[in-house]
Amino acid sequence: MRKKKWPNLSLIIIATVLLWLKTYIVYKTSFEIKIENWKQEFILLLNPLSFILLTLGLGLFMKKNKQRRYILISSFIISAVLFANVVFYRFFNDFLTIPVLFQASNMSDLGSSVSELLNWNDFLYFTDFAVLVLLISLKPRLAPYRPASKIYQRVYFLAAIAIGFFNLALAETERPQLLTRTFDREMLVKNIGTYNYHIYDLFLQTKSSAQRAFADGSELADIKNYVSTKYKKPDEKMFGIAEGKNVILISMESTQNFVINEMVNEQEITPFLNDFIKESYYFDNFYHQTAQGKTSDSEFLLDNSLYPLSRGAVFFTHSGNEYHATPEILKDKGYFAASLHANNKSFWNRDLMYKGFGYDRFYSLPDYQVNNENSVGWGLKDIHFFEQSVKHLREMPKPFYAKFITLTNHFPFELGEDDQFIEPYHSADKTVNNYIPTVRYQDEALKIFIERLKEEDLYEGSIIILYGDHYGISENHNEAMGELLGKDVTPFVSAQLQKVPLIIHIPGHKGKTISNVSGQIDLKPTILHLLGVDTKGSIEFGTDLFAKNKMDLAVLRDGSFITKNHVYTKGICYEKDTGQSADKSLCEPYMEKAKNELEYSDKIIYGDLLRFYEGADPKSAMDNSQ
């Protein structure tokens, strides 16, 4: 009796095993995925398998040469997707999303930032692909082709699907409602895997695209009721205190609050800011709330008091939406609105988004003289940027609302020795070391700019607002940051490191430190109230920072939040004073509120709901009712 031959699936099996093991090794070596128990470790090991089996299993339906080509191409593409996530994670401590891929036009401007993220040994991420090429080229007998019968095809795919459902079931036991209630991409990757996460991301992108098409004004009712409960009556002493004055906003690139009043090498990192806060309102519990859009997200928060999206950048994904931004509102007060940034106008899609916000003028790269001597890293050095911008300020109609976006303190934090006002920090981490001199350079640039404003008689007639746009040092550098700060960077400390400086200088006002918990979402109502524009009736999620009964709450884009007494992050509630874990019930009153805020804001953006909104016109007179 002739022995029955089993189909030889060796090439597919070899490719599957190589990709599976490589993915798990990358999880453990290139990502900082927190594992708490053996079940989570098993899920992490298991989660790439179903996707790889299903993808490579399509080769079972192909003839010899087509199958081999398909396996090679598929393996390379899967490896490339994994490697792209590794490179992205090295700086952003996050995973790629489809909206981020829409921002590919930014890549041409990244320059040294990208090269800094690439390592000489990155070719190892494609080792399995090289093994397959060598196997097919030199040892084809080790992987001979035999067609698989239909029954074996069915068994193969049923097994692959079963593994996928088993993986998802296990994940649900560890994280209930995983696919409906989480804002944390690391949680998704840990439980369903990098590749399945990208499939889920594709689903979310399709869903978000459909939301606008089917949205209607009725969805605004609950949101209007919610934001009306958040509105706080402005402080009578502060409302309109800066009416008619110019507004100068300065976005301090990658500036975290830990540098304020901090010393390195027995020198102050920010000597000018340390002095400037003594004659300004300084908010020392102010948090950035950006996500993948970074600086553009901070601009979105500033002008709209809406949260950015958790995936991609609103500036790219929803530039055609209707917004009710600060520049547009201030037109009724006779303001000229401008943004100044010595970069390509299309970077972050600013040229289109600014039109939607109501900016009258965007001073971009063609409006500046940039050469090799006055530029570094991402472009024009801050000192030269501010100096050249003074001319633009002189030419603007008054009063103006002018936003400056700095560049020098940007990853990879490059600076020539001639521009260093402080020695780099000394550790094994180049990024942390170089961050200190670029922050110090920015501080010097701000000092020179303020002096120029005084010389041009613009200082006394302007309120000046300086704010950090987002973090500069990601969690990938926790070891060096722990050395710098003199303490371990736990998830609690990491959440606290999301503080960024906020300094509001109002001519004639004495300096004061305000320690209420707040975030970038609070900037819009604060600025409008200072200028005498009440925001009652507006759809926004921020609260005037000077309001006497403002709630101490800052909701971060990943669902973490900070209150007066607690910090909630990574699913753990911490005592703010001690950093020790606390009973989760102490954070529960705010958990639903944080979730609602993010979801309501997402609905507005995805559905373009402000096109249906006919709110009360901004009022210049104080409304005594609350």
Report DSSP letters for 427-489, one per residue: SS-HHHHHHHHHHHHHHHHHHHHHHHHHHTT-STTEEEEEEE-S-SS-GGGHHHHHHHHTS--
The phi and psi torsions of 241 (rounded to 5 degrees) equal -65, -25
Q: Which of 201-215, 247-261, 589-603 has the lowest mean pLDDT?
A: 201-215
Pick from 548, 491, 543, 496: nearest CA to 522: 543
Asked if pLDDT for residue 465 goes beyond 90, the answer is yes
Residues 507-519 have a mean pLDDT of 94
Domain boundaries, the chain: 10-212, 225-612
Q: Could you report the per-residue pLDDT of 599-620, keeping only the tens digit for each?
A: 999 999 999 999 988 654 444 3
Look up the pTM and report it.
0.78
Which stretch of DSSP H or E encloses residue 129? Answer: helix 127-138
**What's the confidence (pLDDT) of residue 181?**
56
Percent with pLDDT over 70 in the chain: 91
Q: Which of 194, 295, 317, 431 is catalytic?
A: 295
Q: What share of the chain is helix, strand, coil (3-state, %, to 5)?
A: 55, 10, 35
Q: Confidence class of residue 559 from pLDDT cuts 50, 70 and 90?
A: very high
pLDDT at 3 exceeding the cut of 90:
no
Give pLDDT, residue 105. Answer: 55
Residues paired with residue 465 on neighbouring β-strands, in sequence order: 249, 504
Q: What is the mean pLDDT of residues 253-278?
A: 96
All residues at 6 or more sequence positions from 169 whose CB lies less than 8 Å from its CB, including other chains: none
pLDDT above 70: residue 239: yes
Task: State residue 313's pLDDT score.
Answer: 83
Per the annotation, the verdict on 127 as an active-site residue is no
12 pLDDT band, cuts 50/70/90, is confident
When pLDDT is averaged across residues 71-95 and rounded to a whole number, the result is 87
Among 7-21, 61-75, 503-517, whose mean pLDDT is lowest? Answer: 7-21
Q: Determine the average pLDDT of the residues in 144-170.
A: 88
Count the neighbouring beta carbons within 10 Å of the beta carbon of residue 308: 29
**What value does the mean pLDDT of the chain take?**
88
**How do residues 443-457 score in pLDDT, each as one tens digit?**
999 999 999 999 999
As a whole number of angstroms, the distance between CA 300 and CA 523 comes to 11
Q: What pLDDT score was predicted for residue 624?
A: 36
Q: Using the predicted structure, report yes or no on whether residue 268 has a pLDDT greater than 50.
A: yes
Tell me the pLDDT tens digit for each residue of 431-442.
999 999 999 999
Radius of gyration of the chain (CA): 27
| pLDDT given at position 55 | 94
- Which pLDDT belongs to residue 291? 92
Q: Which CATH superfamily is domain 225-612 in?
A: Alkaline Phosphatase, subunit A (3.40.720.10)
Q: What pLDDT sits at residue 113? A: 58
